[in-house]
Structure 1
Amino acid sequence: MAHSPEQAASPASGPRPSVPGKKPQSMKRVAAASFIGTVIEFYDFGIYGTAAALVFPKLFFPSLGAVAGTVATFATLGVAFVARPIGSILFGHFGDRVGRKTTLITTMLLMGLSTLLVGLMPTAATIGVAAPILIVILRVMQGLAAGGEWGGAVLFASENAPKAKRGFWAMFPSFGGGGAIILSNATFLATAVGMSNETFLAWGWRIPFLASVLLIAVGLWVRLSIDETPVFRKQAASGVSRTPFLDAFRSQPKQILLATGTTVMTLALTYIGGTYFVTYGTTALKLSRPNVLLAAMLGGVAISVGVVLGALLSDRIGRRRMITIVACVAIVWTLVLFPILDTRSLAAFTIGVPVTMFLSGLATGPLGAFLSEIFHTRYRYTATGLSYSLAGMLGGAIPPLIAEPIITAWGGMAFGILLACVALVSLICVRLIGETKELDLDREDTLATADA
């Protein structure tokens, strides 16, 4: 791939963009604001996924039976992923026109309110068919908020960061996702250990949802204390887009599709390893709920370590090369994963989940900077969020939804082959996108795809 002279003009160690008379804000504060929002987003998504695996089939879909109830529950999980692209367009529009800060505060409030209401939701035994309907509505609200959250959070970090360390600083939203996986599973583990199965089913599952109020309070306090990004302020001074969504597809349609394809592998690995395996471990493998949740917590630690390592390496060897390496390894790993898990030993499960999540983290680490660098400022919020949300729908929603029927019909190996194909798609897409780490975020031109 060839870059234009304008794209490669500034040195890798150059200072982050600034506005005359405006002192650059602390990157630690910026990182904290990006981190806390995605902790809330992924915590809310994570506790719903864990509850979906452990109790929701019995509470909201009791008449469907075990297998159909699980599929229906994960379908409600998938509804949020369908809503995410809509949320990315909706909140991306305001993020590209009004600003990153105001939009991120709004997405946090919407996500937090939706999660709180899930914790207060009456079950099917109390209000009948209205219960699953209301759950779906709340999941749509969560999905809309999530569609606007991650993209805005990574932009807030990347648009403040110095170029040489952009990968590191832009990984904090994804690092927050790893922390949320640990936190959500730890919360469920604490309730599982501290109460009987009957008590947990009766009301204990509500505690993690209600506890999210504390995270929201901290998140609002942090985000209200930060300033708008210098890159957006510069764009706003020269004029913002009237229609960011249309501008993005007019200017960089190929990059949106390739960015989506590149991201789909990381989200498939994350939601299989962090959500579906909770179901697979407790039902198919017959492992105890505390042991499965403990393995899921280790998975949260593994993805967090992977995110940091992947981001740091991407600042050295490049985003494209880092994701390429992980995709090649993931193709092999997904083919051997289910034969390992199907030994039905706790040791195998405790290895399978963290390794899957570690690979996801390695690929996720560079993504914040990578997606930010691909798109132009005037529609960057929309395009970044849309690419990530479309990948979430394809990789985060569909694989957990179809895993149960595929494994039941053809075995775990068949589903492993499917995951390997997903990794192959990401490998092809990332090879078609040029390296981005030397690009300026306030450049005027667009990024071409690779020549080879």
Structure 2
Amino acid sequence: MSSAPSDPSDPSDPSDPTGTVPRRRIIFASLIGTTIEFYDFYIFATAAVSVFPLLFFHGGDSGAALLASMATFGTAFVARPLGSVIFGHYGDRLGRKVTLVGALLTMGIATFLIGLLPTIHQIGLWAPAMLTILRFFQGIGLGGEWSGAALLASETAQPGKRAFAAMWPQLGAPFGFILANGLFLVLTTWFAYDSTASDLTDPFLVWGWRLPFLLSIVMVAVGLYVRLRIEETPVFARAIADDQRVKTPVSEVFRKSWREIILGTFIMLATYGLFYLMTTWILSFAIGGEGTGGLGYGYRPFLTLQVLAIVLFAVFVPVAGLLADALGRRRMLIGVTLAIVAFGLSFGWWLDPEAIGTGDDLDVTRMLLFLCVGMMLMGLTFGPMSAVLPELFPTNTRYTGSGVAYNFSAILGAALTPFVAVWLVQNFSVAYVGYYLVGLSVLTIIALVLAPETSKKSLYS
């Protein structure tokens, strides 16, 4: 007579293979990969606000050039679900490790090539076309990266500590942001670049902006070295041993887990909206000309404020992991999302130009406090997601399912957000940007209420 199968989520279970996992190596591999991926993504976001409108979309109307640049920025989010399907297929068929290597290479090569592109002043409309294509491939790479890194961390976690273990790849977002914006800050200081009086002959616009893109290839080499030295996760190894793999994970996940895809998509919605309001849009609003609804503040001093505030993002990611393990996923995230609703309702109070000032008269303390509050909430809502989304899906479609949900949410919550926010400011007021965030947050709360609590769920399924 065969004995009952052991429960790997039981901490007393001696058969739990996660006890032999080299956790430090796993932490480093999941963290460095997402740091590189988000660095690549952020340098494009920063350049989309400050550089690309001048070099790839230059025209008579600066507002239209900014909107065109934001639309190209959003191209990657359309590509990300495709990346999650492509890499998810191989991640659920061949394994997490080999797929993560492919995602890193796709993102890294596309980023490096952006640094070599000629501008619209050199080859005309071919320049924005090529920029858009490479941005698309950046999206494909990141679409396959996040879910693989999340699974690498969550599928090797100790029982009862999964949210905290899975938060390590989430730290790649603030770390990548600090690296990307910190490098741009150093370069703009070195070149003495003034975004409020841009001259196309300025050395920063001629070649200095290319350096962050070209240097990414060094980081990719380091990431590859680390990832090639890790082992497959014990959860996926057991799935292979038990012959649980399916031929077409994408059709399987849409057939059997369509409800989980919908829930996961909307669970991430407020996170994505807040994320790109506090990183991409706020930069464009702060440094944009007063004639286009911006605050006319200097690029370099505002970047300094952003880098300072992003530290709180990094600090609150592990706090979120601890809270999600202690309180449960749903309870913790509902509370945080309600706080995001309150934050969204306060945008007009924080950022109205008459209250915060413009140009050299900007109330720097007020802006820094706004950024700090947003980044704290960002860390709290983003931290548990690498546990929450994978926990919704079975092992044989987990890479595909979590990636599709994560990246569908990117289209709804991130691709449109900077563009919509710029349009709302230009046509209404900055308070409406906050109302937009409130709308996204209400949809997230509904999804969380309908979703199951997954903190006690075994991933060996």
The reply to whether residue 262 of structure 1 matches residue 267 of structure 2 is yes
Contact 2:8 2:460 in 1 (8 A): no
The one-letter code of the counterpart of 1:319 is R
Q: Deviations over 1:208-232 (max 9, x none)?
A: 1111122111101110110011100
The reply to whether residue 137 of structure 1 matches residue 138 of structure 2 is no
Q: Deviations over 1:295-337 (max 9, x none)?
A: 2212321211121111111111111111111100000101102
Aligned residue number for residue 218 of structure 1? 222
Name the CA distance, whole Å, in 2 between partners of 1:418 and 1:273. Answer: 13
Change (3 A) 1:231 1:8: closer
Name the CA distance, whole Å, in 1 between partners of 2:304 and 2:162. Answer: 33
Aligned residue number for residue 406 of structure 2? 388
Indicate the larger mover: 346-355 or 418-427: 346-355
Contact 1:124 1:132 in 2 (8 A): yes
Aligned residue number for residue 254 of structure 2? 249
Contact 2:9 2:159 in 1 (8 A): no
The reply to whether residue 406 of structure 1 matches residue 424 of structure 2 is yes
Structure 1 unmatched ranges of 5 or more:
444-452
Q: Structure 2 matches for 1:295-310, cutoff 5 A?
A: 295-310=305-320
The one-letter code of the counterpart of 2:255 is R
Contact 1:281 1:349 in 2 (8 A): no
Contact 1:274 1:353 in 2 (8 A): no
Pairwise CA distance, 1:171: 0.7
Aligned residue number for residue 84 of structure 1? 80
Contact 2:425 2:432 in 1 (8 A): yes
Select the residue among 369, 386, 396 that pairs with 1:368: 386
Pairwise CA distance, 1:354: 2.4
Aligned residue number for residue 146 of structure 2? 150
Aligned residue number for residue 335 of structure 1? 345
Local SS of the residue matching 1:226? coil
Indicate the larger mover: 141-150 or 330-339: 330-339
Contact 1:266 1:361 in 2 (8 A): no
Q: Deviations over 1:340-375 (max 9, x none)?
A: 122232222211122212211101111111111111
Contact 2:316 2:376 in 1 (8 A): yes
The reply to whether residue 26 of structure 1 matches residue 22 of structure 2 is yes
The reply to whether residue 438 of structure 1 matches residue 438 of structure 2 is no
Pairwise CA distance, 1:64: 5.4
Contact 1:16 1:161 in 2 (8 A): no
Change (3 A) 1:78 1:277: same
Aligned residue number for residue 239 of structure 2? 235
Select the residue among 331, 339, 351 that pairs with 2:369: 351
Aligned residue number for residue 47 of structure 2? 51
Local SS of the residue matching 1:164? coil
Change (3 A) 1:381 1:195: same
Pairwise CA distance, 1:416: 1.0
Indicate the larger mover: 278-287 or 335-344: 335-344
The reply to whether residue 277 of structure 1 matches residue 295 of structure 2 is no
Select the residue among 62, 71, 74 that pairs with 1:75: 71
TM-score w.r.t. length of structure 1: 0.93
Name the CA distance, whole Å, in 2 between partners of 1:162 and 1:350. Answer: 38
Local SS of the residue matching 2:416? helix
Name the CA distance, whole Å, in 1 between partners of 2:5 and 2:68. Answer: 51
Q: Deviations over 1:361-396 (max 9, x none)?
A: 101111111111111000000000001001111111
Name the CA distance, whole Å, in 2 between partners of 1:7 and 1:64. Answer: 68
The one-letter code of the counterpart of 1:154 is A
The one-letter code of the counterpart of 1:329 is A
Aligned residue number for residue 397 of structure 2? 379
Equivalenced residue count is 436
Pairwise CA distance, 1:339: 2.4
Pairwise CA distance, 1:187: 0.4
Structure 2 unmatched ranges of 5 or more:
194-201, 289-293, 358-362
Name the CA distance, whole Å, in 2 between partners of 1:35 and 1:124. Answer: 36
The one-letter code of the counterpart of 2:327 is I
Q: What is the Cα-based RMSD across aligned positions, in Å?
A: 1.8
Pairwise CA distance, 1:172: 1.0
Contact 1:7 1:440 in 2 (8 A): no
Aligned residue number for residue 202 of structure 1? 206
TM-score w.r.t. length of structure 2: 0.91
Name the CA distance, whole Å, in 1 between partners of 2:235 and 2:323. Answer: 25
Aligned residue number for residue 35 of structure 2? 39
Contact 1:13 1:163 in 2 (8 A): no
The reply to whether residue 323 of structure 1 matches residue 323 of structure 2 is no
Name the CA distance, whole Å, in 2 between partners of 1:287 and 1:6. Answer: 62
Local SS of the residue matching 1:62? coil
The one-letter code of the counterpart of 2:325 is D
The one-letter code of the counterpart of 1:223 is R
Aligned residue number for residue 447 of structure 1? none
Local SS of the residue matching 2:10? coil
The one-letter code of the counterpart of 1:426 is T
Change (3 A) 1:10 1:80: closer
